[in-house]
Amino acid sequence: MFGAKLFLLAAMLVGGGAMAIQAQYALAACGMVLLAAAYTHAVELQHQCLHHSAFRNPRPHRLVGVPLGTPMLVSYSHYRVRHLQHHRFLGTPQDTEFFGFDTRKPLTLGALAKGLFDVRRIANVGRDIARCATGRWQYDMGQIAPKARRAIVSEYRWFGVFILLLAAACGAGGAPLVLRLWLIPFVLSMPMHFLVELPEHILCDSTSVDVLRNTRTITGSRLTTWFTNGNNLHIEHHAAMNVPLSRLRDRHEDVREFGVHVQRSYAEFFAIVTREVWKNRKASKG
Contact 115, 101 (CB under 8 A): yes
Q: What is the pLDDT of residue 286?
A: 59
Residue 253 sits at the vertex; the CA angle it makes with 248 and 259, to the nearest 5 degrees, is: 90
- Report the C-alpha gap between 253 and 243 in whole angstroms: 16
What is the pLDDT at residue 100? 63
Average predicted confidence (pLDDT) for the chain: 93
Q: Which pLDDT value is given to residue 37?
A: 98
Q: What is the pLDDT of residue 110?
A: 87
Radius of gyration for the alpha carbons in the chain, expressed in angstroms and rounded: 19
Average pLDDT per consecutive 10 residues, the chain (286 residues; last block may be shorter): 95 97 96 98 96 92 97 96 92 78 80 88 95 94 91 98 97 96 97 94 92 95 95 94 89 94 96 93 72
Q: Distance (Å, rounded) from C-alpha 48 to C-alpha 234?
A: 12
Instruction: State the pLDDT at residue 114.
Output: 86
For residues 253 and 233, the answer to whether their CB atoms sit within 8 Å is no
**Which DSSP string do the residues of 9-38 spell out, in sequence order?**
HHHHHHHHHHHHTSSSHHHHHHHHHHHHHH
8 A C-beta contact, residue 158 and residue 128: no
- DSSP letter string over the chain? -HHHHHHHHHHHHHHHHHHHTSSSHHHHHHHHHHHHHHHHHHHHHHHHHHTT-SSSSSTHHHHHHHHHHGGGT--HHHHHHHHHHHHHHTTSTT---SS---TTS---HHHHHHHHT-HHHHHHHHHHHHHHHTT-----SS---HHHHHHHHHHHHHHHHHHHHHHHHIIIIIHHHHIIIIIHHHHHHHHHHHHHHGGGTTTS-TT---HHHH-EEE---HHHHHHTTTTTBHHHHHHSTTS-GGGGGGGHHHHHHH-SEEES-HHHHHHHHHHHHHHHHHHHH-
- Whole-number Cα distances in Å, 259 to 11, 185, 230, 256, 279: 36, 36, 17, 6, 24
Spatial distance between the Cα atoms of 95 and 104, rounded to a whole number of angstroms: 11
Whole-number pLDDT of residue 19: 97
